Amino acid sequence: MKPITDYQDYRRFMLDFYEENKKSGFTWREFSKDAGFASPSYLKLVCEGKSSLSRVGVPRVAKAMNLSGFEFAYFEKMVEYGNTKNDEKKTEAFNELMRLAKEKKARVIDADMFNYYESAINSIVRELAPLMPGALPLEMAKKIKHAFTAQQVRDSLAMLTKANFLKETAENTYQQTDKAITGSTDAIPLALRAMNREMSDLAKEAIDRIDVKERNISGVTMGIDAETLALISDEINCCRKRVITLANACKKIDRVYRLNLQLFPLTGNV
């Protein structure tokens, strides 16, 4: 079975534990019994996402899985991360998972991706730095049309190079290691929500601060049904992919832009 730090989803961790032991005749009934639960199917329901493991249940399941010390602490925080619905508390729990893993000199899978998406500055600096060879953080900060400091740029460059999103080829000179960035774990949507909020705030600033000739901001309010919503969503996805293709084909990059595509309900069903 993989190390516990390869997981952020406690249900997947528990399911893999069950699958690993099932080979020798282990059953859901036995798993629940070992953890002190009366219901023989309770842990199966937890792993299927139909129920959640309570705080009281954490030490019981940890004992049944022979988790102690660091592994118990990591599992406990993983359950907190998986159960909370509040983004701020979820972020705190994920950061604690990373802290625990760092103390153990282990790596949380896609922690770098989480850090990348957590702030808008990282995607900006990743695109801007290769366009300004030799530039210092303050020079980059002055090029950004929004209020980011030289320290924020400096911290972003450090994170991007450490995570191998950027490679320093000479002093203060960078190139992208890959054209596109992708993530795979359930931590990514959490960080993406934080970045999208920040990018939406920058879009609001642009209405007043950026000349209309340099921006394209428009919107439409419309009445639709569920079937039309699906068609419009598909059209937006196709449009985004076409825009990405155009951007990837650009050979003379001289500026960094952000495209926000926003479609959201203003009312409930009537």
User: Alpha-carbon distance 127 to 160, whole Å?
Assistant: 11
> What is the full DSSP assignment across 236-253?
HHHHHHHHHHHHHH-SS-
Residue 37 has pLDDT above 60, yes or no: yes
pLDDT for position 193: 80
Report yes or no on 66 lying in a domain: yes
φ, ψ of residue 16 in degrees (nearest 5) = -65, -35
pLDDT for position 108: 66
Which residue type sits at 56?
V
* More confident call, 28 vs 87: 28
Report yes or no on 235 lying in a domain: no
Confidence band, pLDDT 50/70/90 cuts, at residue 126: very high
Whole-structure pTM value: 0.62
CA angle 103, 108, 113 (to 5 degrees): 130
- Residue 32 CA from chain centroid, whole number: 32
Split into its structural domains, the chain has a count of 1
Confidence band, pLDDT 50/70/90 cuts, at residue 101: confident
Stretch 188-215: mean pLDDT, rounded? Answer: 86
Confidence band, pLDDT 50/70/90 cuts, at residue 187: low
Report yes or no on 61 lying in a domain: yes
Stretch 68-87: mean pLDDT, rounded? Answer: 92
Stretch 47-69: mean pLDDT, rounded? Answer: 94
Per the CB < 8 A criterion, the answer to whether 181 and 117 are in contact is no
Residue 185 has pLDDT above 60, yes or no: no
Report yes or no on 86 lying in a domain: yes
User: Alpha-carbon distance 252 to 4, whole Å?
Assistant: 45
CB proximity list for 20: less than 8 A, separation 6 or greater: 1
Report yes or no on 72 lying in a domain: yes
Q: Residue 58: which CATH number?
A: 1.10.260
At 217, list the tokens: 């901001």
Report yes or no on 55 lying in a domain: yes
Confidence band, pLDDT 50/70/90 cuts, at residue 105: confident
pLDDT for position 112: 78
pLDDT for position 178: 80
Question: In percent, how much of the chain has pLDDT > 70?
Answer: 95
Report yes or no on 95 lying in a domain: yes
How many angstroms separate the Cα of 103 from the Cα of each of 76, 126, 159, 231, 255? 16, 28, 19, 48, 40
User: Alpha-carbon distance 52 to 189, whole Å?
Assistant: 20
Which residue type sits at 239?
C
Report yes or no on 70 lying in a domain: yes
Which residue type sits at 210?
I
Highest mean pLDDT among 115-129, 225-239, 240-254: 225-239
Residue 106 has pLDDT above 80, yes or no: no
Where in the sequence is the domain holding 92, given as residue range(s)? 4-105
pLDDT, averaged across the chain: 90
User: Alpha-carbon distance 100 to 7, whole Å?
Assistant: 13
pLDDT for position 180: 67
The DSSP symbol for 4 reads: G
pLDDT for position 113: 79
Stretch 191-207: mean pLDDT, rounded? Answer: 87
Per the CB < 8 A criterion, the answer to whether 40 and 33 are in contact is yes
pLDDT for position 266: 86
